[in-house]
Structure 1
Amino acid sequence: MRIYRLAASAYLVITLGSIVLSLVIGTATPAWLATMWYPPGEIVGKSPLLPVLGGLLLLGLVNSWMLWQVLRGPAPMAVPTRGAATWLRLLLYADVMWLLIPSLLPDLVETVIGLALWVPALVLLTVVLTGSGRPFRLALLLIGLVEPAGSLAIGLMDASRPQLFMSPAYRATVMAAAVATFVMMVMLLLAQRRDGRWSRVTLLIGLGTFASAFLVELVDTLTRGSTIESIAEAMDVLYVVWLARTAHELNREPRQKAPLRVPAALAAVPAVLLLMVVGPEGRPYLTYTWQSDELMECWAASEPPRVADIPAHERDRAYMCSVSKPSDLRVSDQELLGRGRAACTRFAAGEPVRARPALLALLCPEVIGQRYPDLLLSSAQIGRRQAEKESVERKQREREARKEDAMCRDPWPALRTRFQATASYYDWDTLPYGIYDAEADTEEDSEAIWNAESTGVLAASGQLALIFTPSQDWATCVTAKALRSAPPPLRRKGWDEVVEADVVSESGHLVMQKLSASKVRFPNLARSGPGTYRLRLYTRPGVDLILVYPARRAA
């Protein structure tokens, strides 16, 4: 018995045995592994056992027939083959093996490997085929190269931003690749028929690839996300068998006939493409697009997009992507759109509706806009309105802060220096304000202060000092003065606390954080450059006086 018969028979026996085992143990896992060649998912265990096993039995028969065809090897050599035919046969068998072996590589890598095997085979096919004129073979090569280029472009888009899935360029690329694949396959079958080396069965199997692809797509639509969908996709093996038979019968002797001209039917292809671009007057609606797992079908967002941001011809799709769908019922696009338009009618009549106005605005903006005019604004208009509101609030805070600053007075006017400033400080979150080295990383110093067991009104660590005196009920007037030497003692009378601490400035740039919304700027408090400085804080309710001077002269 030849190897291909033995392999097909053995596989069929294994399939039958796995189905019997699945019936005995009550789970489809053994049969699934034997026929699908990968572990089953959770959905397989939730499906009825007998229908699944019936589908797997049919798939086992199909796979046995496929192994029979693939493992036969080349036919007996009728005439000596040229080098191009030999390489073509090797590439076709390599492509068959690549399509059969399961791969865990990324999609883009699989696409590149598949194109690396198919493109040279296509070029050699145009060289090896006889009975077809040179213009026909040149047209076949050019159209055949459109599909690999389109597949590579689609793979690159899929690997980039998902937003590209809905772009016109992505759609045009998918359409061009699909049309090029169809035309190329038709021309290849015509060329094979004219060549004479390939049998009628091979040509029929090649034609069957169109029907099988259509049936698989139909089953996918009717059984979205089910076990039958996966089994149906695995049965689409006619293209693999066609490749194997094309390589098997390549050794036969071609017939010599008049060159094949480009069929007149192919002239209709440009007209069909033009009709696809122009489209009908009424745009048809796809069915169950919202149930597809493909991002190119529907890119759902957490909130409905604003109607002014969506072109009028895309608003129905935007509504479909945003509306809440039933989880256990199959509802078509038309029915969901009908429900939405019915809700618009009830809304216009003043009746209560459950749908959000922002969602219904995508279907009937003129109705929703009468009661909610803000929903008709674009994102840019909303952004400008928010920016104007924030600008008004910011200017109001600045005016109020300038009034508060004007009410503050220097608590020690006799001690004058050009390096001083006074500002009001509000602290609604009971947070301190700080003095720190402007060029230092004070994260560790801040953690040390906050992790301390207890802190007073003044806490310092390294190049950071924090003052914990502001009140939540009124503004605190803060005055900071930078001195070159230790100031004279100030009477403690009238002050609740007088405390001191050291702060380091390695850069010689010691700054006070901005306190007031009026953006009062405090001067550099490190008068003597880099070094250690002494901070003396006088504080009472509503008033803080901070004196900063070099620590080496404190004595």
Structure 2
Amino acid sequence: MRLHRLAASAYFAVALGSVGLSLVIGSATPAWLVTMWYPPGEAVEGVPLLPVLGGLLLLGLVNAWMFWEVLRRPAPAGMPMGRAAVWLRVLLYANVVWLLIPSYLPDLVETVISLALWVPALVLLTVVVTGSGRFFRLALLLFGLAEPARAVMDALADDAQPLIFVTPAYRVSIMVTGLAAFVMMVMVLLAQRRDGRWSRGTLLVGVGTFASAFLVELVDALTKSGTIESIAEAMDVLYLVWLARTARELNREPQRAAPLRVPTAVTAVGAVALLMVVGPEYAPRLTYTWRGEQGLDCRLSWAPPRVADIPVHERERAYLCSVSKSDREVSDQELIGKGKAACARFAGGQPVRARPALLALLCPEVIGRRHPELLLSSAQVERQRAEERSRVREQLRREAREEDARCRDPWPALRTRFQATASYYDWDGRPYGIHDAEADTSRDAERIWDAYSTESLAVSGQLALVFTPAQDWATCVTAKALRSAPPPLRRRGWDKVVEADIVSGSGRLVMQTLSASRVRFPDLARGGPGRYRLRLYTRQGVDLILVYPARR
């Protein structure tokens, strides 16, 4: 038995056995692995088993036929083959092998390998074929290079901004390159027919490559199951068979072949498939959208875009992108019709379920009468928010200045140029601090918080934290920097008096900014680097802090 018969028979036997095994265990995984050549994942979940196995059995038969055609040996040479024909045969078989072997390489690498195999084959094909004029072959080459050029552009722009793929220029390039690929395939088949060395079966298989594309679209239009669509896409093996037959028959002698006559049944089936794919008129679509292209036309957003940010000619598309649901098959015209009907009800004062921000994309003049804020642009909204934040900050500063003005020095007899008084409001239950201006006090802060002290004053190293009692009014804080120890102050009138040592390595002890009015406290280290004594007098609403060099 020859190799192609043995391979085809063995593969079909294995495929048939895998289908039987899937029936026994109640899972389509074995048959899927043998016929589709990759794990099913979630593709077969929730789908009846028998239809899936029937499609996989049919796919196994188609794959066996494909192996039969690909592995057949070339016929005896009718004439000596030139060097160009020999290299063309090698490249065509290399394309078949590359398309058959599953690849897990990066997209850019796969694109480079595919182009390295196909572009030279296309150039050699235009050199080898006979019976076609020079201009015909030049046009064939130009049309054939359009699709590889777009593939390179897509691979290079893979990491670019997604906005590139929704521009009108990109969509036009998709249509142009698709049309160029169609024209190129037609011209190749015409060149093969004029050359005469390729059989009518090879030409019919080439024509069938168009039918396979229509088959996928037909299945997509008639079913909503990703499983059936995947099986239909896997049956697209006519292109592989056409490549193999084209390579195998290269050694035949060119001659004037009979005109290619496509059977009437094939023409009728193709016309019916085309009509079914186009679909009836009950689901019209706008020219800039199509089934399955939501990712190219729409940018995901949690909120609808503002109407002032969208050009007038783009507002309907923005509305469709905001209301379309991937799990519902509703035409664009139907969605726009429902939106405009909601606009009419809104204008008449009737309740509507749609959000006004969405309807503003279709009827801004209607929505703007009751919601003028929806007609503002993002820049205007951000400017209003900035003005509001500025107004709030100014209000806080004004209130803080009023609080500061109510505060008085609790020990006016002890005067020094290095003192300041400000109000401090414990908004979030956190203390205020005094620290060395150039020291990293993160570890000191960790030690203070880990100690969990309930004292009013907590000191560690070069950081001191003062805890104020919880109250609904501000605390007036006065800090004074002295060169020597102050005279004792009577404890009468104060709730608590505590002392602790704080170190200043840089010679600068600073008080954090307390008030929203930005009162600045002076440097509290009057004696330069060294150890300082910090004494805290506190009572309800008043803190007095004295800082002076510690005794040696």
Asked whether the 8 Å contact 1:509–1:524 carries over to 2, the reply is yes
Query: Normalising by the residue count of structure 1, what TM-score does the alignment of the two structures yield?
Result: 0.85
> The residue matched to 2:44 in structure 1 has which SS?
helix
Partner of 1:279: none
513-522 vs 157-166, which moves further = 157-166
Structure 2 unaligned spans of 5+: 258-283
Q: What is the CA distance between 1:387 and its match in structure 2?
A: 0.9
Counterpart amino acid of residue 98 in structure 1? W
Q: 1:399 to 1:287 in 2, by over 3 A?
A: closer
Say if 1:511 and 1:522, in contact at 8 Å, map to a contact too. Answer: yes
1:265 aligns with: none
**Given the alignment of the two structures, is residue 241 of structure 1 paired with residue 241 of structure 2, yes or no?**
yes
Structure 1 position 74, deviation (Å): 4.4
Counterparts of 1:423 and 1:105, CA distance in 2:
67
What secondary structure, in the 3-state scheme, does the structure 1 residue paired with 2:295 have?
coil
1:450 is displaced (CA, Å) by 2.0
The corresponding residue for 2:30 is 30
Q: 1:441, 1:75 → 2: CA distance? A: 86
Distance verdict in 2 for CA 1:397–1:14, change over 3 Å:
same
Q: Residues 219 and 232 of structure 1 are in contact (CA less than 8 Å); yes or no, is this contact kept in structure 2?
A: yes
**What aligned pairs does 1:243-322 form with structure 2 within 5 A after superposition?**
243-255=243-255, 284-285=285-286, 292=292, 295-322=295-322
CA contact (8 A) 1:438 1:509 kept: yes
- Match for residue 266 of structure 2? none
Provide closer, same or farther for how the CA distance between residues 20 and 310 of structure 1 changes in structure 2, counting only shifts above 3 A.
Answer: same
**CA-CA distance at 1:94 after TM superposition:** 2.2
Q: Is the 8 A contact 1:460 1:466 kept in 2?
A: yes
Distance 2:480 2:73 in 1: 95
Letter in 2 for 1:109: V
1:353 CA displacement: 2.0
Question: What secondary structure sits across from 1:159 in the alignment?
Answer: coil
Residue 351 of structure 1 is matched in structure 2 by 350
SS in 1 for 2:538: strand
1 CA distance for matches of 2:151 and 2:99?
16
In structure 2, relative to structure 1, the CA distance for the partners of 1:294 and 1:335 (3 Å cut) is: closer
> Is the counterpart of residue 337 in structure 1 residue 336 in structure 2?
yes
Report the equivalent of 1:117: 117
SS of residue matched to 1:44 = coil
Summarize the Cα distance change of 1:68–1:298 in structure 2 as closer, same or farther, 3 Å threshold: farther
Letter in 2 for 1:348: A
Matches within 5 A, 1:519-534: 519-534=518-533
- Name the amino acid aligned to 2:518: K
> Partners in 2 of 1:488 and 1:480 — Cα distance?
16
Residue in 2 that maps onto 1:477: 476
Change (3 A) 1:91 1:505: farther
Post-superposition CA distance 1:467-491 (Å, at most 9, x none) = 1116441112222233444444333
Deviation for aligned residue 1:231? 0.9
1:223-248 deviation line (CA, Å, top 9, x unaligned): 34532111111112222222222222
Confirm or deny: 8 A CA contact 1:470 1:476 kept in the other structure: no
The structural deviation recorded for 1:382 is: 0.9
Residues 337-416 of structure 1 aligned to structure 2 (within 5 Å) = 337-416=336-415
CA distances 1:485-525 after superposition (whole Å, capped 9, x unpaired): 44443333332222233344444443322211112222333
* Superposition deviation, residue 354 in structure 1: 1.9
CA distance in 2, matches of 1:41, 1:416: 81
User: Which residues of structure 1 form unaligned runs of 5+?
Assistant: 258-282
Asked if the contact 1:7–1:67 (Cα under 8 Å) also holds between the matched residues in 2, the reply is yes
Alpha-carbon distance in structure 2 between the residues aligned to 1:102 and 1:493: 90
Query: Displacement, 1:383?
Result: 0.7
SS at match of 1:182: helix
- Aligned partners of 2:536 and 2:546 also within 8 Å: yes
1:84-123: CA deviations, max 9, x gaps?
4333333322222222222233333333332233233333
1:546 and 2:537 aligned: no
TM-score (norm 2): 0.86
Residue 402 of structure 1: CA displacement?
Answer: 1.6
- Cα distance change on mapping 1:546 and 1:50 into 2, 3 Å: same
Three-state SS of the structure 2 residue aligned to 1:495 is coil
Q: Is the 8 A contact 1:153 1:173 kept in 2?
A: no
- Count, aligned residues: 526
Q: 1:460 to 1:92 in 2, by over 3 A?
A: farther
Q: In the TM superposition, what are the counterparts of 1:9-20 in structure 2 within 5 Å?
A: 9-20=9-20
Matched, 1:218 2:221: no
Instruction: State how far apart, in whole Å, the 2-side matches of 1:508 and 1:195 are.
Output: 96
Q: Distance in 1 between matches of 2:502 and 2:91?
A: 77
SS in 2 for 1:296: helix
2:421 maps to 1:422: yes
Equivalent in the alignment of 1:495: 494
What is the rounded CA distance, in whole Å, between the counterparts of 2:304 and 2:377 in structure 1? 13
For the residue of structure 2 that corresponds to 1:178, the secondary structure is helix
Q: Name the aligned partner's letter for residue 207 of structure 1.
A: V
State the secondary structure of the residue aligned to 1:375.
helix
Further displaced range: 334-343 or 53-62: 334-343
Alpha-carbon shift at residue 256 of structure 1 (Å):
9.1
Shift of 1:528: 4.6
Is 1:501–1:535's contact at 8 Å kept on the other side of the alignment?
Answer: yes
Contact 1:165–1:295 (8 Å) recurs in 2? no
| Amino acid corresponding to residue 511 of structure 1 in structure 2 | V
- 1:70-109 alignment, distance < 5 Å: 70-109=70-109
Q: Which runs of 4+ in 1 moved over 6 A?
A: none
Moved more, 307-316 or 486-495: 486-495
Q: Name the counterpart of 1:511.
A: 510
Distance in 2 (alpha carbons) for counterparts of 1:180 and 1:169: 16
8 Å CA contact retained: 1:144, 1:184: yes
Q: CA 1:143–1:43 in structure 2 vs 1: closer, same or farther (change >3 Å)?
A: closer
Structure 2 residue aligned with 1:442: 441
**Residues in 1 aligned to 2:246 and 2:294: alpha-carbon distance in whole angstroms:** 33
Q: What letter is aligned with 2:445?
A: S
1:77 Cα deviation from its structure 2 partner: 3.5
Segment drifting more, 161-170 vs 367-376:
161-170
Report SS of the residue matched to 1:545: strand
Do the aligned partners of residues 436 and 175 (structure 1) sit closer, same or farther apart at CA in structure 2, a change above 3 Å counting?
farther
Identity, % of aligned positions? 72
Q: RMSD between aligned alpha carbons?
A: 3.0
CA shift, 1:319, in A, is 2.3
- Residue deviations 1:305-357, cap 9 Å, x none? 22222223332332232227495x54333333333232222222222222222
Do 1:130 and 1:256's aligned partners in 2 also have CA atoms closer than 8 Å? Answer: no
* Structure 2 residue matching 1:362: 3-state secondary structure: coil
Change (3 A) 1:225 1:158: farther
After superposition, the Cα gap between the structure-2 partners of 1:441 and 1:66, relative to the gap in structure 1 and judged at 3 Å, is: farther
Alpha-carbon spacing, 1:104–1:525, altered in 2? closer, same or farther (3 Å): farther
C-alpha contact 1:43 1:226 (8 A) present in aligned 2? yes
Map Cα deviations across residues 517-555 of structure 1 (whole Å, 9 max, x no partner): 1122223334455544433222222222223344xx435
Contact 2:524/2:547 (<8 A) preserved: yes
- Kept after mapping to 2: 8 A contact 1:432/1:470: no
Secondary structure of 1:42's counterpart equals: coil
Deviates more, 1:219-228 or 1:361-370: 219-228
Does the CA contact (< 8 Å) of 2:285 and 2:331 recur in 1?
Answer: no
| Paired residues of 2:457 and 2:466 also in contact (CA < 8 A) | yes
TM-superposed deviation, 1:406: 2.2
- 1:412–1:317: structure 2 CA closer, same or farther, 3 Å change rule? same
The structure-2 alpha-carbon separation of the partners of 1:411 and 1:320, relative to structure 1 and needing over 3 Å to count, comes to same
Q: Hey, what does 1:191 align to over in structure 2?
A: 191
Q: Flag the 1:3–1:315 CA change in 2: closer, same or farther, 3 A.
A: same
CA distance in 2, matches of 1:218, 1:380: 47
1:339-377 C-alpha deviation (Å, 9 max, x unpaired): 323222222222222222222222222222222111121
Q: Does 1:150 pair with 2:157? A: no
Q: Measured at CA, do residues 379 and 218 of structure 1 come closer, stay the same or move farther in structure 2, by a change above 3 Å?
A: farther
